[in-house]
Amino acid sequence: MSRLDTLAVHAGRRPDGDTGAILTPIHQVTTYAQDEIGGPPAPHTYSRASNPTVAALEERLAALEGGAGAVCFASGMAALDAVLRRLASGEHVVVGDTVYGGTVRLLREILSRHGVLFSFADASRPDAICAAITPQTRLVLVESPANPTLKLADISGIARVCREADVPLAVDNTFLTPHGQRALELGADLAIHSTTKHLEGHNATIGGAVVVRDAEDWLSWLRLARKSAGTNLAPFEAWLTLRGTKTLAVRLERHAQSALALACRLEATSGVARVLYPGLPSHPQHALAKRQQRHGGSVIAFELAGGKEAARRFVKALRLVTLAESLGAVESLVTHPATMTHAAYSPGERAALGVTDGLLRLSVGLEDVEDLWEDVRRGLVAARGVEACA
């Protein structure tokens, strides 16, 4: 039972010992009875440390990523924070130059106050990562595809650099999940997820996870960090995510199929300055995508020629796609990164990374692709009015 689609349904699932229920129960409980003072360690003692429902999800996520273990958290940012908090004052992390704005905010406004050092490097070039590593570097952190421009990191190339430098590599695998990209098999030591997105898949929970390839010391650290900070995932959220992962394979395949169809149409439409989608041959890293990804994923980035006003008109005209922050769920969502997810970057930084005022990020859901295209086309017609007045 080693194939991913089967693991998504069965890993971590056992009939309940008391009732025979085939679904993992929601263990909505605070504390657990212990046999005696000083007795053998119990599997669970207090739900801030561990919980049976959460443990079942951790077993499934580790199986899906092919890792030695997983630790779940209250959010994707809590998961990332636990990873970064392993760095002591004066230690350094190399970060891919295009990452989620919340990651930048965490580093600049929180961790830097505690002496953690960081610098950005072009994750599409392993040599740039190599050049950024210093004697103080204790971690390399990249996203692939990166949010929001879908820039890819050469994971296996960076992994070779990290092994030579004896520095662990963490890959945020949220956009593709293990269904679309095998980050640990490509050489990453840690795979980080916002389980909020594709893994749960229904816009119903906030959650995060870190899957560890084989380093027991990382598992121990992550469990300690979660227990100490109280950033544990709640059992109901874990149960919903367990249910969501069962349909991961069929959802991701449909997401990617529809996203590619829409990306192709957008690319052929006037008023669209550029389309960024790894599944398109026009993507500058399409060859890398074919090597390290199973498909292009559910997210498309595209830039409207009319800039911010065109983006505003586009979004205003939509009837089916919703303006909202998030991605990877059954409903299609559109985001304006410059004012939403990546507002933590300065205007100059956004410009350098290609996060322009006309850039939109479309998370393609499970609606009929023709209905989605009709809605997108309605937005494009509204946006073209800006060009006519320019």
Catalytic residue at 100?
Answer: yes
Catalytic residue at 172?
Answer: yes
Q: For residue 70, how far is the Cα from the chain centroid? A: 15
Catalytic residue at 166?
Answer: no
Nearest of 222, 249, 180 to residue 11 by alpha carbon = 249
> Could you say which of 172, 189, 357, 375 is catalytic?
172
Catalytic residue at 197?
Answer: yes
CA distance 299 to 176: 9
> Could you say which of 86, 100, 138, 294 is catalytic?
100
Count, residues in the chain: 390
> Could you say which of 5, 13, 46, 48 is catalytic?
48
> Could you say which of 60, 138, 182, 197 is catalytic?
197
Nearest of 277, 302, 300 to residue 383 by alpha carbon = 302
β 69-73/92-96 pair status: unpaired
Residues annotated as catalytic are 48, 100, 172, 197
